[in-house]
Structure 1
């Protein structure tokens, strides 16, 4: 833990922040010439890993629409998007609610890390709003149409997605580089799940006390350096201090404990990976033993495996970490509730499925995932 202590991170922050601030736009662009990158044709931007001096830095480039550029740093819901976009549930991720909500959250969390209030969030070294550069990928209109249909044919969602795809400006975030994605890290290091889960819960606790719901705390948005986890990607964040509409204020109150349920729901996915790494002979044996019918969807297969996880472990049908099995058993009611909510939301063309927040709160209390004294707070 000492190798990435708060003091060392603070020193690195001030050094890199100062150096990046002294670069003009042309010099910043040159940093991407030999970077590892991934890009999106849907207007969701791109990510890069750059070498800057002796350090690696993760850079996220996000389109800034004309409407956003005309309303710099506004945290309003400028496109009047429906609140269900916060869930990010769909064949392609949600558009989010505006880049400045993401930026403002990074500014706040970086200060909290520097002040020593929390350690499990990456630092933002620098940000820059600059003209878009690079090759612009063409918009696949058939794909765009399907995307909008999957989000209830909401015109505003479609407009925002298209505006991002043709944006003339972009927000460039220079973030602390963390080498591992938790989802893949846990595959190879299942014995670290207990520490990771405790740290994730503590991070969500912290954000909740600050009036923030992350809304996207799945294991691909959680990183690790092997010592601790880091919660990142604030594209769907809802903060009580944003310029919220009345609908958004009500939505916030109805989803205060969403992040806890989302984290536990993601425990499901570890089971699928454990099954996939079984030999073909072992898979056939498991299929026969637990009467798994052919043609099931992946989530249906996982549900059967989770329902039988105690027997699977007892009989040695799959190699499963003991803490993982105990967690599934302990939080199974929450995992099932969240999975049912996601399945209903996915299949609901209007996307107006309500989170059963009262039931979620009750189960979080009963299972002890939240201390009793905290469950009643908001």
Structure 2
């Protein structure tokens, strides 16, 4: 048994034996690492081991007897809510199931590139109060962004008033891929080149595994990928899987997006490389200049990084254009699946 699996066995059993009072006491020691629209993440010490705890609002509709553990689209949300434009996701039970699926892949030695789920618990949500004026204003703004869709408003309202949380106890990693790769690129030379090659290769393997199992992450940017030298894709708030209880429209949506995760990974890699070379602002215009201007390309000393950007620029620009259309034109715009499948096939990319 590997050290990683030994730690998994030990922590899973230990956390399983905790009473609710012990879980509450443990959470009081948590050090916040991230708070976002999909929940909050903290680092916690369990004895000598450090773990992540992610708390996700568990809404009252999800706690109804008939919906406990359900991976159905309980709120009947529109499928454009799958996209990474500020979506709160389709429900806590789906996120839990996604972690259970990927943890099983790790334990079965199918793919090691996902954080292990040690345990989970439903707890009372502290400070669950009626909406105040600020919350109501924010809810209105969020609903308006999503074209005032009534189902999305219902979901947002339920999150605001949720009286419980789902806590996921997860494997800890010291850094995000975003931070790690930036540090490697600053080193330059062989260090930077090796990092880019390794990241590109590992992300390809991760996406191949997910596609093989009809599983789409839908949010594969580099702040959702953890790193300790190897990569671990986490944060499954938008994940969609054939193992979920899916409507026919969701099954078709999942099939139509088989190229999506790989394309988002490529977009994220290109963004990171361009920002490292030309600064954090205006990455898209800098990329366009890179494509058309030889002098701009020569500002990057690494031939490998230059070639990587050149190879992936069409996909990065196409995905960014798709997001721009979703954001500014209509949330109902269809994903151009044939276009991305063609672009990936031209590069002999697996997806």
Q: Same fold (TM over 0.5)?
A: yes
Name the CA distance, whole Å, in 2 between partners of 1:96 and 1:305. Answer: 35
Which residue number in structure 1 is paired with residue 215 of structure 2?
A: 212
Note closer, same or farther for the CA distance 1:219–1:118 as it changes in structure 2 (3 Å cut).
Answer: same
- C-alpha contact 2:173 2:227 (8 A) present in aligned 1: yes
- C-alpha contact 1:95 1:157 (8 A) present in aligned 2: no
Q: Does 1:100 align with 2:118?
A: no
Which residue number in structure 2 is paired with residue 293 of structure 1?
A: none
1:276 Cα deviation after fit: 2.5
Matched residue SS, 1:32: helix
Q: Does 1:80 align with 2:39?
A: no
1:309 Cα deviation after fit: 6.8
Which residue number in structure 2 is paired with residue 369 of structure 1?
A: 349
* 242, 246, 250: which one aligns with 1:248: 250
Which residue number in structure 1 is paired with residue 296 of structure 2?
A: 312
Q: Does 1:301 align with 2:285?
A: yes
Note closer, same or farther for the CA distance 1:58–1:80 as it changes in structure 2 (3 Å cut).
Answer: same
Name the CA distance, whole Å, in 1 between partners of 2:278 and 2:157. Answer: 39
TM-score (norm. length: structure 1) = 0.84
Note closer, same or farther for the CA distance 1:170–1:313 as it changes in structure 2 (3 Å cut).
Answer: same
Q: What is the alpha-carbon root mean square deviation over aligned residues?
A: 2.1
Note closer, same or farther for the CA distance 1:267–1:52 as it changes in structure 2 (3 Å cut).
Answer: same
Name the CA distance, whole Å, in 2 between partners of 1:196 and 1:364. Answer: 17
Matched residue SS, 1:160: helix
* 110, 114, 124: which one aligns with 1:131: 124
Gapped runs of 5+ residues in structure 1? 1-5, 278-296
Gapped runs of 5+ residues in structure 2? 186-191
Q: Deviations over 1:17-65 (max 9, x none)?
A: 11111111111111122321157586x3211111111111010000111
Which residue number in structure 2 is paired with residue 50 of structure 1?
A: 44
1:299 Cα deviation after fit: 4.7
Which residue number in structure 2 is paired with residue 178 of structure 1?
A: 173
- C-alpha contact 2:90 2:237 (8 A) present in aligned 1: yes
1:349-364 mapped onto 2 (5 Å cutoff):
350-364=330-344
Which residue number in structure 1 is paired with residue 60 of structure 2?
A: 66
Which residue number in structure 2 is paired with residue 161 of structure 1?
A: 156
1:8 Cα deviation after fit: 1.1
Name the CA distance, whole Å, in 2 between partners of 1:18 and 1:269. Answer: 41
Q: Deviations over 1:83-130 (max 9, x none)?
A: 0111122xxx20211111111111121122112111110000110112
Which residue number in structure 2 is paired with residue 337 of structure 1?
A: 318
Note closer, same or farther for the CA distance 1:339–1:164 as it changes in structure 2 (3 Å cut).
Answer: same
Matched residue SS, 1:264: helix
Query: How many pairs align?
Result: 338
- C-alpha contact 2:52 2:170 (8 A) present in aligned 1: yes
* 234, 237, 245: which one aligns with 1:235: 237
Which residue number in structure 1 is paired with residue 307 of structure 2?
A: 326
Note closer, same or farther for the CA distance 1:324–1:21 as it changes in structure 2 (3 Å cut).
Answer: same
